[in-house]
Structure 1
Amino acid sequence: MTDPSADLPSQKQHLREKLRFRRRHFVANLDEFTRFAAFRALPAPLEALVAAHAVTGAYAAWGDEPDILPMLADKAEAHGIALPHHAGRVEMMTFRRWRPADPLVKGPWGTRQPANGSDSATPALIFCPLVGFDRSGGRIGQGGGHYDRWFAAHPDALRIGVGWSVQEIDATPIEPTDMALDAVLTEQEFIVTGDRL
């Protein structure tokens, strides 16, 4: 008998390709006002959460991912935020503190990250990019597993996915290593998906 879970990686890869295509075309066709206004202000529930946590994790947008750094500018300026950092092309990802005046350098995977000399940090609340999501907290990432491994090592950290509304799907294929999101933020709404918020 064939194990149905053996096909999950290929299902996810097919969904990634479909959702990346959808996201790319959605972003390319955004009007100027929507592009400017999207992800510029934290919704009230998130503003309170960010204020309550000493270290907030975020990311430097890559390609057509939503750019959330302007939304977190006040927090970044006052206390700094933590961004993903890769020491090399390895499985483990860490976070390093960053402020708007600090340079971002090209990391080994091509994404922008804090410089090697930046201080390490462990966020208690993390905004993570996604390729796809559902309303139960399922997340499809880029496929490298970096966030899932970090989430597994830090299960108490609140996990908030960030994506465009067109990245929503009915249900995400779930693998044993996948960690559910607590919420999802899109340009249209803030969706609570778990019971930790």
Structure 2
Amino acid sequence: MTDTSADLPNQKRHLREKLRFRRRHFAANLDEFTRFAAFRAPPAPLADLLGRQAMIGAYAAWGDEPDILPMLGGYAGDGKIALPHHTDRIDTMGFRRWAPADPLVKGPWGTPQPADDGESAVPTLILCPLVGFDRQGGRIGHGGGHYDRWFAAHAHVLRIGIGWSVQEVDAMPLEPTDMPLDAVLTEQEFIVTGDRL
């Protein structure tokens, strides 16, 4: 019998490449209306969830990731938004409060993040970017494991992935350290994948 678990990192690497290409091509070919309308207002079930949170973890889009910050403008004005922050490449990911007037700086990978002097925060719900997802809550990220480690340390926090519909696969190859999502939001639908919502 072949041990397929040893091949999982390789499977995930190939899947990442395929899904990044798919995402890049899809985002580059979006029509103007879809680009403008996508992720501008949360669907009712998500809006209800967001309204009940003390602190919402989000992200500043990088490359062809969906831009969700316009959708969260009202919550940011209430001081309820925090974005990921890294001090360096080996640092554990944390979150810092963010408001639209606050500048974003380049993090260790060139991704936008709050400045180092921003106030630390612990979200009660995370809207996280992804490279791929399935309808069972499987998520594949960029490969650094930062979100999975944060999720493992804060297991009570609700986890909602954000991606384009073309990033969906039938089944994600998962390792024991991969933390499942509770839901996924795409430009087309809000998919509940777990039983915590």
With the shorter chain as reference, the TM-score category is over 0.9
DSSP-derived class of the 2:170 partner: coil
Residue 129 of structure 1: aligned partner: 129
**TM-score normalized by the length of structure 2:** 0.98
Task: Indicate yes or no: 2:183 matched with 1:183.
Answer: yes
State the alpha-carbon separation in 1 of the partners of residues 2 and 166 from structure 2.
33
Give secondary structure in 1 for the equivalent of 2:69: coil
Matched, 1:53 2:53: yes
- Let me know the Cα RMSD of the aligned residues: 0.8
CA distance in 1, matches of 2:114, 2:132: 26
Question: When the two structures are aligned, how many residues end up with a matched partner?
Answer: 197
Per-residue deviation, 1:70: 0.3
Structure 2 partner of 1:36: 36
AA matched with 2:107: G
In structure 2, the partner of 1:192 is: 192
Task: Look up the equivalent residue of 2:120 and give its one-letter code.
Answer: S
On the 8 A contact 1:132/1:169 being kept in 2, the answer is yes
Q: CA–CA distance in 1 between the matches of 2:91 and 2:168? A: 27
Could you list the runs of 5+ residues in structure 2 that have no partner in the other structure? none
**SS of alignment partner, residue 96 of structure 1:** strand
Residue equivalent to 1:9: 9
Conserved 8 A contact 2:84-2:113: yes
TM-score by length of 1: 0.98
Q: How far is the alpha carbon of 1:91 from its aligned partner?
A: 4.7
Give the aligned partner of residue 63 of structure 2.
63
Distance in structure 1 (CA, Å) of the matches to 2:6 and 2:176 = 11
Q: 1:173 aligned to 2:196? A: no
Q: Which residue of 2 aligns with 1:158?
A: 158
